[in-house]
């Protein structure tokens, strides 16, 4: 399976369990890796036979900016579900970064990574 990756998608969302996170929001960073067979697109140089990573990126940002959830696990699942709606995508790896998570000790980042595929 081939891989198409988009790293570092940034969007402001209001996800989290604390009222401050819901009210003020924060920046989330998302990496996606789409698993698909790129041979049909490559053989005909045909965008319609692959996943349009520009459109997928816009959809991911819309999810982050959209309806708040408590957990980044839920956010990652929503993103994965959307990516798998594209016919060419057979598998997706989603990493959601929450660099401004409300942690009281010094840290660089909080992430969750999930991998989902067509059933």
Tell me which residues are annotated as active site: 98
**In a 3-state reduction of DSSP, which class is residue 36?**
strand
Report the C-alpha gap between 25 and 12 in whole angstroms.
6
Using alpha carbons, select from 103, 111, 94, 112 the residue that is nearest to residue 18: 103
Whether 91 and 71 have beta carbons less than 8 Å apart is answered as no
Q: Please state, in angstroms and rounded to a whole number, the distance separating the CA atoms of residues 97 and 42.
A: 32
Sheet holding 2-13, edge to edge: 2-13, 26-36, 91-97, 111-117
């Amino acid at each position: 399976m081939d891989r198409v990756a988009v790293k570092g998608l940034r969007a402001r969302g209001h996800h989290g369990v604390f009222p401050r996170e819901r009210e003020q929001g924060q920046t989330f960073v998302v990496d996606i890796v789409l698993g698909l067979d790129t041979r049909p697109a490559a053989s005909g140089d045909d965008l319609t036979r692959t996943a349009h990573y520009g459109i997928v990126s816009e959809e991911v940002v819309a999810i982050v900016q959209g309806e708040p959830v408590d957990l980044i696990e839920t956010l990652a699942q929503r993103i994965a579900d959307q990516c798998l709606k594209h016919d060419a995508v057979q598998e997706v790896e989603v990493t959601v970064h929450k660099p401004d998570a409300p942690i009281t000790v010094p840290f660089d980042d909080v992430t969750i990574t999930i991998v989902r595929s067509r059933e």
